[in-house]
Amino acid sequence: MEKIVIIGGEPLQGTIEISGSKNASLPLMAASILTNESVILDNTPNLADIHTMGSVLDSLGVNFDKSKLIENNQIKLTYQESDKALAEYDLVRKMRASILVLGPLLARKREATVSMPGGCAIGARPVNIHVDALAKLGGEFNLEKGYIKCEAKSGLKGAKIELPMISVGATENIIMAASLAKGETEITNIAIEPEIIDLIDLLKAMGAQIEVGPNRKVLIQGVDELHGATHTVIPDRIEVGTYIIAGAITQGDLEIRNINFDHIKNLLSVFESLGVDMIKSDNNLKVKISDISKSIELDTREYPGFPTDLQAQMMVLLSLSNRSSVIRENIFENRFMHVPELNRMGANIEINGSQAKINPCNGFSGAQVMATDLRASVSLVLASLIAKGETTINRVYHLDRGYEKLENKLASCGANIKRIQ
């Protein structure tokens, strides 16, 4: 099993190019089921999750052409008429986002059988919101032997749908399905993450009629068919936040490129309030030597709130302050698994239910640590960059799911980091 070894203490100096968004790419890939023509995605990150979704789609009759992925981050997806409407457990269990094929399959094939995604390290993410919303479009559902079986013999029909809670995945699934439903669909209480707007932009380029309104509302006029399109994936805002923290804690001079500042306005205000020294120019950002001496209370919330995907990384930054801060996790019920590992490295973090109190610490020290999920993994990398001595991070396959060329990007800016068997 591979490990990452880091010797801390090196300031990051240089340039890091932000990759395309993983969380945007996955639903964009699923949308290829909605047309027989090719969907070409530029700026797609070369990540394990991309390959997993490609395998799921391939099993459903989508030709996943990844020949240009390594060279120029482009993939081509072409759905071929197929009798395949089964997403099997062995594929779906690897990534919960595989559930995103449910809506497109039901819309195109009028039937679908998709394995329940199964457990998740950071908490339960029930699929009943997806199922209930699709049922309002005319889908009939049964749960058999761990599979969601659904059909819509007469096709899907537009409806008024109010999601009971804000859900990114359910919003994506129902928007894709409604694009080919007969008549008008009105969905309220939708998630409005940039990744969802990116999906809507692709669907509109494919011929969908979608209008995003105020107050988390979207109107969709169903069309008979969609066509192919070429689309550029948005930059990964979570990667941006991660590298801003990396620049701030290592006291270097780091330039981060390919940023969409419209996607991170509230995030930047949080960093500014803590004293992170940043200079913006065009779509680039320079992070300078920063004095983190303030405290803050943060609540993870749906966009445009503070993202849960940056909660673990933020704990490393807040540990360097001389005042205590508080983070309340409101999205996932089990997303503090990185805390014991950070504490082993010298952090002083106290957990009380869904609240974490991050107290000042005397710095981090190298240790053997274990990654538990994607964002937890990168928080350990951040702590290792400033730790005294050597840190070995185990289970780094989590990192490969969401951070493209992480070691290369950090090493190019002076980090002492390497991957070993």
Say how far apart CA 180 and CA 389 lie, in whole Å. 57
Give tens-digit pLDDT for 119-150: 444 344 568 899 999 999 999 999 888 899 99
CB 242 within 8 A of CB 379: no
**Quick one: pLDDT at residue 218?**
98
Which residue ranges make up each domain of the chain? 3-19+235-420, 22-232
CATH class of 3-19+235-420: alpha beta
> What value does the mean pLDDT take over residues 210-229?
98
Residue where the block lists tokens 């009759």: 61
Burial class for 61, CB neighbours closer than 10 Å (0-12, 13-18, 19+): middle
Say how far apart CA 134 and CA 108 lie, in whole Å. 13
Where does the pLDDT of residue 91 fall: very low under 50, low under 70, confident under 90, or very high at 90 and above? confident
- Looking at the DSSP bridge assignments, the partners of residue 42 are 232
Please choose, from the candidates 333, 293, 334, 338, the residue with its C-alpha nearest in 3D space to the C-alpha of residue 312. Answer: 338
- Same-fold call for 3-19+235-420 versus 22-232: yes
**What would the CATH number be for the domain defined by 22-232?**
3.65.10.10
Give tens-digit pLDDT for 58-84: 999 999 999 999 999 999 999 997 788
Length of the chain: 421
Listed in sequence order, the residues at least 6 apart from 17 whose beta carbon sits closer than 8 Å to its beta carbon are 257, 258, 409
Residue where the block lists tokens 């980090």: 415
According to DSSP, residue 234 is labeled P
Please report, rounded to a whole number, the percentage of residues in the chain having pLDDT higher than 90: 86
Where does the pLDDT of residue 23 fall: very low under 50, low under 70, confident under 90, or very high at 90 and above? very high
Catalytic residues: 120
What is the model's pTM? Answer: 0.96
**196 CA to centre of own chain:** 11
Residue 118 has pLDDT above 60, yes or no: no
Listed range (31-45, 330-344, 374-388) with the worst mean pLDDT: 330-344
Q: How far is CA 119 from CA 27, 56, 170, 181, 335, in A?
A: 20, 18, 18, 31, 14
More confident residue, 284 or 373: 284
**Quick one: pLDDT at residue 120?**
45
Say how far apart CA 139 and CA 132 lie, in whole Å. 9
Listed in sequence order, the residues at least 6 apart from 345 whose beta carbon sits closer than 8 Å to its beta carbon are 364, 365, 366, 367, 369, 380, 383, 384, 387, 391
**Quick one: pLDDT at residue 186?**
98
- The SS3 assignment for 245 reads helix
**Quick one: pLDDT at residue 121?**
46
Residue 251 has pLDDT above 90, yes or no: yes
> What value does the mean pLDDT take over residues 348-360?
97
More confident residue, 332 or 22: 22
Strands of 107-228, DSSP E:
111-115, 140-144, 147-151, 160-162, 184-188, 209-213, 217-221
